[in-house]
Structure 1
Amino acid sequence: MNITKESIDALNAVVKVEISAADYQDKVDKILKDYRQKANIPGFRKGQVPMGLVKKQYGKSIMIDEVNKLLQESLNNFLVEEKLDILGNPLPKMQDDFNWDAEDYAFEFELGLAPDFDVDLSGKNKITQYNIVADEELLNKEVENLQKRFGKLVTKEVVEEGVNIAGSFANEEKGIDKKSTISLEDIKGKVNQKKFIGKKVGDVVALESKGLFDDDHKLMGALGLGHDEVHGLEIPLTFTIEEINVTELAEVNQELFDKIFGPDVVKSVEELKEKIKEDAEKQFQQQADQQLLNAVTEYLVENTKFDLPAEFLKKWLAVAGEKPMSAEQAAEEFDKSEKGLRYQLIEGKVIKDNNLQIDFKELQDFTKGFVKAQMAQYGQLNPEEKDLEDIVQRVLSNQDEAKRLQEQLMGQKLLTFYKENITFKVKEVNYENFVKEVYK
């Protein structure tokens, strides 16, 4: 057997695999002998079937199967031994004059090669790293939310500002009959709100779906409809009032502090706000880190230039899936996936060049931390080590779950690496301005 590689250019190559009868015949003969021993053919005793008959009946299919096995094994070994970094999978070149009746065969495969490039991490102050702070306005709002959460519901006779209203939305034509609880503050516009003011339990309010709430998601929840059904919906509605109440805010005092944090953990409004600030900024940090990782990804994709074997990849995409694609569909799919492929290559380069690979012990420790955090949410603060290890083993035995955790861990390692090696433009903002700037 002989395997050779011909470079077409820096990104494309052809591998030729030549297989002769000497490479596969012994294996074929061994299988045929085994078939002869087991063959059950009318007119012959078991094990006494003439070899010529066995060869005639099974010889060609066995030979083709063994040649294909040998071809796949030798090609894979060659790619590993030559350390060829390929994209997609080798594509067999069609041969119009190929003949399985010959004894010697030659197969050719097209390869798409990964590009050689460098990743420049010196983009000083070109990427913004947000430091999100909990400002006084947010802290005051969170204190009020806690007052509502630990407050008590007080029934009201009539609808007035600040109340919650329970009732049923209805539209006979659309088959809508949905119990919902709404806040008067969620109703959009003074005109709609005035329709509720002064109403009592049992009253029916006539409304229009269009412009009833400030976004479609609230309308979806109120009417129990899907996104597509709600989009552009313009129908009359009735709302039958069944209950009116308002939340009487809890007093900000030691009793409230103890209910939230336990006895004497917090003893003043200032300490309460400090706790809220600490918890909020931990959550903000997670969002800021994810945004930073996204921003670095975008920057590296935009600023790391290299070519791809585009034509090869389009041909490969056309045949790689469960259903073949046309050339036009494959080109469209390549355009959609090119950015993701570029970042995979960049990420792989960063990981390899900086030894950021994950070993199994790291993944186990990360999973253990994840499991402990999950258990803590349900009050299991000190699980037995053996129980913890058993759960970790079960989690990692699930391939999908193991892959998800591995991706999370790699994201953390990359983020730490980027923070240590890229100089960012640091910007301090409150949460509202962070959302405006990042998700505008």
Structure 2
Amino acid sequence: MNITKENIDDLNAVVKIDITEEDYQNKVAEILRDYRKNANIPGFRKGHVPMSLVKRQYEKPVLIDEVNKLLQESLNKFLIEEKLDILGNPLPKTQEDFSWDADKFSFEFELGLVPDFEVNLQPKKAINSYKIVADKKMLDDQVKNIQERYGKMISQTEISENSNITGTFVNEEKEIEKKTTFKLDKVKGKTNAKLFKGAKVGDVITLKTKGLFVDDHLLQNHLGVEHDVAHDLDVEVQFTVNEISETEPAELNQELFDKLFGEGIVKSEEEFKNRLKEDAEKQFEQQSDQQLLNAVTEALIENTKFDLPAEFLQKWIAVAGEKQLSEQEAKDEYERSEKGLRYQLIESKISKDNNLQVTFDELKEFAKGFIKSQMAQYGNVNPEEKELEEIAGRILSNQEEAKRLSEQLMSQKLLTFYKENVKLKIKEVSFDEFVKEVYK
């Protein structure tokens, strides 16, 4: 057997594999002898079938099978030994004059090679790394919401400015019949609010659905209609008032603090607000970290220039899936996936150059941390180590789950690396400012 590689250019190569009769004949002969021993052919005793008859029936398919096995094994071994970084899989070249009746065979495979490039971690313009702070308005709103949530409900005889209204919306034609509760301040416009004010239990109010609530999603929830229906719904509904109440806000006292955080953990209004601020900003970190990861990804793709073996990749995409694609379909798919492929190569190079890898022990500890946070949501804040080990073992035995957790852990490692090595500009913003700047 002889294997050679010819570089077409920096991104494309062809591997040629020559296989002679000496490479496969012993294995083919061994298999045919086994066939002869076990063959059940009418007119012959088992084990006494003439070899010429066995060869006539089985030699060619056995030869084809063994040559293909030898071909795949030798190609894989060659790629590993030569340390070739390839994209996709090798593509066999079509040979019009090929025949399995020959004694020796030559096969050629096209390769798409990973480009050689350097990653620039210091773009000219620094990337914004947002620090989202909980401003006074947000904290005041949060305090107000908590006071209402833990407040006392007081019945009212008629609807007023601060009322909680429980009732049933009905429209027979649209098959709407939904009992719901909402605050009057969620009703949109003075005209609609005026229809509610002064109403008593048992009163029926006729309303137009269009522009009834400050947000169409509220219309969806309170009328029990589909999302798409809510946006265009413009019909009359009858609303029957069932209950009217007002919330007396809970006092900011030790009893409330203990309910929220545990006995004696928070001891003053100042500590209460500081804790709310700290918890809110901790949650914001996940959003700012994800935004930073996205921004760095975009910047690396934009600033790291290299060519790809586009023609090879389009040919590979055409045959890689369950259904073969046309030339145009493969080209369209390549254009859709090119950006993602570029980042995969950039990420792979950063990981390799900086020894960023996920070990099994790290993955297990990461899985245990994930399990602990899940269990804490259901009140089990101190699970036993043995239990965590068993659950983590079960999760990691599932390849899809193990892959998903491994990707999350690698994202964390990359994020830490980017924070330490990429040119960043820390920008402090409120959550509203963050949303406006990032999501626009």
Unmatched runs of 5 consecutive residues or more in structure 2: none
Structure 1 contact 125–425 (Cα < 8 Å) conserved? no
Q: Could you tell me how far apart the structure 1 residues matched to 2:92 and 2:230 are?
A: 50
Q: Could you tell me how far apart the structure 1 residues matched to 2:336 and 2:214 are?
A: 33
**Is the deviation greater in 158-167 or in 326-335?**
158-167
Q: Could you tell me how far apart the structure 2 residues matched to 1:231 and 1:24 are?
A: 70
Q: Could you tell me how far apart the structure 2 residues matched to 1:14 and 1:228 are?
A: 54
Q: Residue 58 of structure 2 aligns with which residue?
A: 58
Q: Residue 11 of structure 1 aligns with which residue?
A: 11
Q: Could you tell me how far apart the structure 1 residues matched to 2:21 and 2:399 are?
A: 41
Q: Residue 293 of structure 1 aligns with which residue?
A: 293
Q: Structure 1 counterpart of 2:15, which letter?
A: V
Query: What is the Cα deviation at residue 93 of structure 1?
Result: 1.5
Assess, with a 3 A threshold, how the Cα gap between structure 1 residues 55 and 287 changes in structure 2: closer, same or farther: same
Q: Structure 2 counterpart of 1:310, which letter?
A: A
| 1:380-405 CA distance string (max 9 Å, x none) | 23322222211111111111211111
Assess, with a 3 A threshold, how the Cα gap between structure 1 residues 31 and 429 changes in structure 2: closer, same or farther: same
Structure 2 contact 123–303 (Cα < 8 Å) conserved? no
Assess, with a 3 A threshold, how the Cα gap between structure 1 residues 360 and 237 changes in structure 2: closer, same or farther: same
Alignment of structure 1 residues 336-347 onto 2, 5 Å: 336-347=336-347
Q: Residue 22 of structure 2 aligns with which residue?
A: 22
Q: Could you tell me how far apart the structure 2 residues matched to 1:53 and 1:312 are?
A: 45
Structure 1 contact 134–281 (Cα < 8 Å) conserved? yes
Q: Residue 422 of structure 2 aligns with which residue?
A: 422
Q: Residue 363 of structure 2 aligns with which residue?
A: 363
Q: Residue 193 of structure 2 aligns with which residue?
A: 193
Assess, with a 3 A threshold, how the Cα gap between structure 1 residues 124 and 267 changes in structure 2: closer, same or farther: farther
Assess, with a 3 A threshold, how the Cα gap between structure 1 residues 346 and 173 changes in structure 2: closer, same or farther: same
Q: Residue 309 of structure 1 aligns with which residue?
A: 309
Alignment of structure 1 residues 48-127 onto 2, 5 Å: 48-123=48-123, 126-127=126-127
Q: Could you tell me how far apart the structure 2 residues matched to 1:233 and 1:102 are?
A: 75
Q: Could you tell me how far apart the structure 1 residues matched to 2:358 and 2:43 are?
A: 63
Q: Could you tell me how far apart the structure 1 residues matched to 2:263 and 2:316 are?
A: 65
Q: Are 1:224 and 2:224 matched, yes or no?
A: yes
Q: Could you tell me how far apart the structure 2 residues matched to 1:394 and 1:165 are?
A: 49
Q: Residue 183 of structure 2 aligns with which residue?
A: 183
Q: Residue 149 of structure 1 aligns with which residue?
A: 149
Alignment of structure 1 residues 314-353 onto 2, 5 Å: 314-353=314-353
Assess, with a 3 A threshold, how the Cα gap between structure 1 residues 107 and 251 changes in structure 2: closer, same or farther: same
Q: Residue 401 of structure 1 aligns with which residue?
A: 401
Q: Structure 1 counterpart of 2:119, which letter?
A: V
Assess, with a 3 A threshold, how the Cα gap between structure 1 residues 205 and 296 changes in structure 2: closer, same or farther: same
SS in structure 2 at match of 1:9: coil
**Is the deviation greater in 93-102 or in 106-115?**
93-102
Structure 2 contact 162–184 (Cα < 8 Å) conserved? yes
Query: What is the Cα deviation at residue 422 of structure 1?
Result: 2.0
| 1:49-71 CA distance string (max 9 Å, x none) | 22222222222212111111111
Assess, with a 3 A threshold, how the Cα gap between structure 1 residues 55 and 429 changes in structure 2: closer, same or farther: same
**Is the deviation greater in 187-196 or in 137-146?**
187-196
Structure 1 contact 158–197 (Cα < 8 Å) conserved? yes
Assess, with a 3 A threshold, how the Cα gap between structure 1 residues 66 and 184 changes in structure 2: closer, same or farther: farther
Q: Could you tell me how far apart the structure 2 residues matched to 1:143 and 1:425 are?
A: 32
Q: Could you tell me how far apart the structure 1 residues matched to 2:92 and 2:225 are?
A: 51
Query: What is the Cα deviation at residue 229 of structure 1?
Result: 4.1
Q: Structure 2 counterpart of 1:354, which letter?
A: N
| 1:217-250 CA distance string (max 9 Å, x none) | 3333334344444454444444343333332211
Q: Residue 158 of structure 2 aligns with which residue?
A: 158
Q: Could you tell me how far apart the structure 2 residues matched to 1:76 and 1:235 are?
A: 68
SS in structure 2 at match of 1:131: strand
Assess, with a 3 A threshold, how the Cα gap between structure 1 residues 177 and 316 changes in structure 2: closer, same or farther: farther
Structure 2 contact 122–423 (Cα < 8 Å) conserved? yes
Q: Structure 1 counterpart of 2:69, which letter?
A: K
Q: Structure 1 counterpart of 2:115, which letter?
A: P
| 1:385-432 CA distance string (max 9 Å, x none) | 222211111111111211111111111111111111123111111111
Q: Could you tell me how far apart the structure 1 residues matched to 2:21 and 2:208 are?
A: 81
Query: What is the Cα deviation at residue 216 of structure 1?
Result: 4.0
Q: Residue 376 of structure 1 aligns with which residue?
A: 376
SS in structure 2 at match of 1:30: helix
Q: Could you tell me how far apart the structure 2 residues matched to 1:390 and 1:323 are?
A: 41
Q: Structure 1 counterpart of 2:205, which letter?
A: V
Query: What is the Cα deviation at residue 308 of structure 1?
Result: 1.0
Structure 1 contact 115–308 (Cα < 8 Å) conserved? yes
Query: What is the Cα deviation at residue 371 of structure 1?
Result: 1.9
Assess, with a 3 A threshold, how the Cα gap between structure 1 residues 230 and 312 changes in structure 2: closer, same or farther: farther
Q: Please tell me the root mean square deviation across aligned C-alpha atoms, in Å.
A: 2.0
Query: What is the Cα deviation at residue 39 of structure 1?
Result: 1.6
Q: Could you tell me how far apart the structure 2 residues matched to 1:91 and 1:169 are?
A: 64
Q: Could you tell me how far apart the structure 1 residues matched to 2:230 and 2:319 are?
A: 39
Query: What is the Cα deviation at residue 280 of structure 1?
Result: 0.9
Assess, with a 3 A threshold, how the Cα gap between structure 1 residues 30 and 392 changes in structure 2: closer, same or farther: same
Aligned residues: 440
Q: Could you tell me how far apart the structure 1 residues matched to 2:126 and 2:434 are?
A: 17
| 1:95-114 CA distance string (max 9 Å, x none) | 22222222222121111111
Query: What is the Cα deviation at residue 130 of structure 1?
Result: 1.0
**Is the deviation greater in 90-99 or in 126-135?**
90-99
SS in structure 2 at match of 1:44: coil
